[in-house]
Amino acid sequence: MKNIWHVITLIPEYRGRLVVIIAASSMLGIVGTAIPYLFKGIVDTVIRLSAHKLTFAQAQSTLAILILTFGGLRIATIIFNYFLEGQSDALWLNTVSSLRQRVFDNMATLSLDYYERTRVGDVMDRYGAITSITMWLFQLSEGTLASILQLFFGICVLLVKAPTIGLIMLVLIPYNLVSSFRTVTKTKPLRRRWHQVMGKMAGLLSEMISQIATVRSFAGERVVKRQFEKAQSEWWDIRTVEMGTELRDGARLNLVNTIGVIASIAIVSLEALEGKYTAGDILLVLTLTQNLISAIQPITRLVNNTGDIETSAERLVDLLKMVPSVIDTPGAMTLSKIESIEFRKVSFSYPGAELPSLEAISFRLAAGEMLALVGPSGSGKSTLIKLLMRLYDPDQGQILVNDTDIKGYTQDSLRSLMGIVLQDVALFNDTIGENIAFAKPEASPEDVEAAARSAHADAFIRNFPDQYKTRVGERGIKLSGGEKQRVAIARALLRSPQLVILDEATSALDSESERFVQDGLERLMRNRTAIVIAHRFSTIAKADKILVMQKGRIIETGDHGTLVGNREGLYARLYNLQVELQGPSAA
């Protein structure tokens, strides 16, 4: 229950609402117990009249009082129910919306390492748990709590009126709860497992959707279907065992309850024969017994679900407790201008990786300069950029901007000065206009269009019937590679960044697209500090400084002229190879 309680305490104003819910439920519990009393009164009055123990007028006035009380109690029930349902609805709305928002907000702040070791499906399953937890809370607050209280009051009355039956109920009800709880405990590991499998299935679905082009091009439908079927059959097996256990335990419990009811009815009947009860008492005791037995079922069902809900709540709370590994230090400053960037003996390994991805990286870049990162794939170029953006913190060494460690600046202010165009451009499934404006939400449509014009994107955007309102599809699937790049350049331009970070595309675009993209990129870099993961010597040669990287280390550094001059160096060898293959024009 620890995690369920934790979830409840996250709900705004939960205390006030709980007070109203408990008060209204208690009143409903009392009214629910009082009504059988009125029935007893009516039966007894009629019987006493026929036994001539009451005059007709007395009977009439007693019945009138009883009926009026009944009416009053029914109206009170309507009022209490009104409050109860109103508060339960509010509680539900509050819980659902505040939990969703909290999950989303927390996910938005988590650092990249979390996402790299987590499956989307698992997060989606945890997020989906909000629905089951809140429905459970809703059921509890809207009706089950009143039933629990009715159970309590009913037993009190029975203990006074028919102690033997009261005692039977006193044994039966805890037995029900304990037995349900035992079933829940027994099945808990199974529930944990099937939740994980559900997460896996959701992950497979989302991966298939995001990778649909790859799946299709490798005719991989059979492979992904088989993976899903395997997870599904695992889920099926676990669920079958779980449901079988619940079914058997439930049937055993029903049998015990039925024996309890039969015994109670037999006892009341026998005691009534001995003249211990009036007819009204018999009605009262039988109605209460029946009410109690029917109230138990929804309660045990709720108890049964408690296990499931606690598991879901635990998974949800775990998700909410995740804290970003990269955080703003207290008193972090706002960075407003980049004057220099320096790496001082920076080393870094990805969590869980055996080998470092960067080792003792040192360089310095002044404002307005262009730095090119060159090296084979896997040499650490993207990692260097991720560290500069503070997506990760270095294990050793320091990254300084204006001679101050970047940990001393707020992450927002640091990143807001950067404009990034990656090779694999990711777009939101939104309109082109919104995708560009993402860099600067307050930008006017004119600013967005001006940025698009500069990036040579305006013309192709205007060719779409919906122009800037054209939706780009999941990850921008409806745009070509060159178009996506130009949208990304427009997005970066809109920000007027002080530092431009580029990952030059390795895949060839058609030559017209290529020209537009190159020109867009040059405009973006003009008069700005730039760090480029470069593949073309035509780009690299323009850099003020080149870092040649291999296996996470800088093996050569200098400008193009110096590096080409070092005939033994990797750079010169790569350069000469390209010249040989493509002719000097490529270089």
- Minimum CB separation of residue 354 from ligand ADP in Å reads 10
Residue whose CB is less far from ligand ADP, 357 or 411: 357
State the sign of the Cα–Cα–Cα–Cα dihedral 110, 115, 121, 126: negative
- Minimum CB separation of residue 117 from ligand ADP in Å reads 8
**Residue partners of 251: CB distance under 8 A and separation at least 6:** none
Residue whose CB is less far from ligand ADP, 320 or 358: 358
Give me the DSSP letters along 42-71. HHHHHHHHHTTSS-HHHHHHHHHHHHHHHH
What would the two tokens of residue 185 be? 């405990």
Residue whose CB is less far from ligand ADP, 138 or 348: 348
Task: Tell which residue, 530, 545, 570, has the closest CA to residue 363.
Answer: 545
- Minimum CB separation of residue 445 from ligand ADP in Å reads 36
Residue whose CB is less far from ligand ADP, 127 or 392: 392
Measured CA to CA, the distance from residue 303 to residue 178 in angstroms comes to 10
- Minimum CB separation of residue 348 from ligand ADP in Å reads 9
Measured CA to CA, the distance from residue 432 to residue 473 in angstroms comes to 10
Residue whose CB is less far from ligand ADP, 352 or 441: 352
Measured CA to CA, the distance from residue 175 to residue 404 in angstroms comes to 67
- Minimum CB separation of residue 243 from ligand ADP in Å reads 40
Binding site residues, ligand ADP, CB under 6 A: 116, 350, 353, 357, 375, 377-383
Amino acid found at 457: A
- Minimum CB separation of residue 375 from ligand ADP in Å reads 6
- Minimum CB separation of residue 7 from ligand ADP in Å reads 32
Torsion of CA 560, 562, 563, 569, to 10 degrees: 170
- Minimum CB separation of residue 323 from ligand ADP in Å reads 19
Residue whose CB is less far from ligand ADP, 549 or 564: 549
Residue whose CB is less far from ligand ADP, 122 or 483: 122
- Minimum CB separation of residue 114 from ligand ADP in Å reads 11
Residue whose CB is less far from ligand ADP, 22 or 360: 360
Residue whose CB is less far from ligand ADP, 134 or 379: 379
| Phi and psi, residue 345, nearest 5° | 50, 50
Measured CA to CA, the distance from residue 148 to residue 170 in angstroms comes to 13
Measured CA to CA, the distance from residue 408 to residue 42 in angstroms comes to 80
Measured CA to CA, the distance from residue 413 to residue 332 in angstroms comes to 10
Task: Tell which residue, 476, 478, 485, 481, has the closest CA to residue 518.
Answer: 485
Are the beta carbons of 301 and 328 closer than 8 angstroms? no
Residue whose CB is less far from ligand ADP, 244 or 378: 378
- Minimum CB separation of residue 349 from ligand ADP in Å reads 8
**Residue partners of 25: CB distance under 8 A and separation at least 6:** 84, 141, 145, 146, 148, 149
Residue whose CB is less far from ligand ADP, 59 or 570: 570
State the sign of the Cα–Cα–Cα–Cα dihedral 269, 275, 279, 280: negative
Give me the DSSP letters along 527-574. TSEEEEE---HHHHTT-SEEEEEETTEEEEEE-HHHHHH-TTSHHHHH
- Minimum CB separation of residue 392 from ligand ADP in Å reads 9
What would the two tokens of residue 221 be? 């439908």
Task: Tell which residue, 579, 558, 566, has the closest CA to residue 374.
Answer: 558
Amino acid found at 204: L
Residue whose CB is less far from ligand ADP, 340 or 382: 382
Helical axes 481-494 vs 511-525, angle rounded to 10°: 10
Measured CA to CA, the distance from residue 207 to residue 459 in angstroms comes to 33
Q: End-to-end CA distance of the chain, in Å?
A: 67
- Minimum CB separation of residue 482 from ligand ADP in Å reads 22
Measured CA to CA, the distance from residue 223 to residue 235 in angstroms comes to 19
Amino acid found at 516: F
Residue whose CB is less far from ligand ADP, 350 or 464: 350
- Minimum CB separation of residue 120 from ligand ADP in Å reads 15
Are the beta carbons of 457 and 480 closer than 8 angstroms? no
- Minimum CB separation of residue 111 from ligand ADP in Å reads 11
Residue whose CB is less far from ligand ADP, 381 or 560: 381
Rg of the chain, C-alpha, whole Å: 36
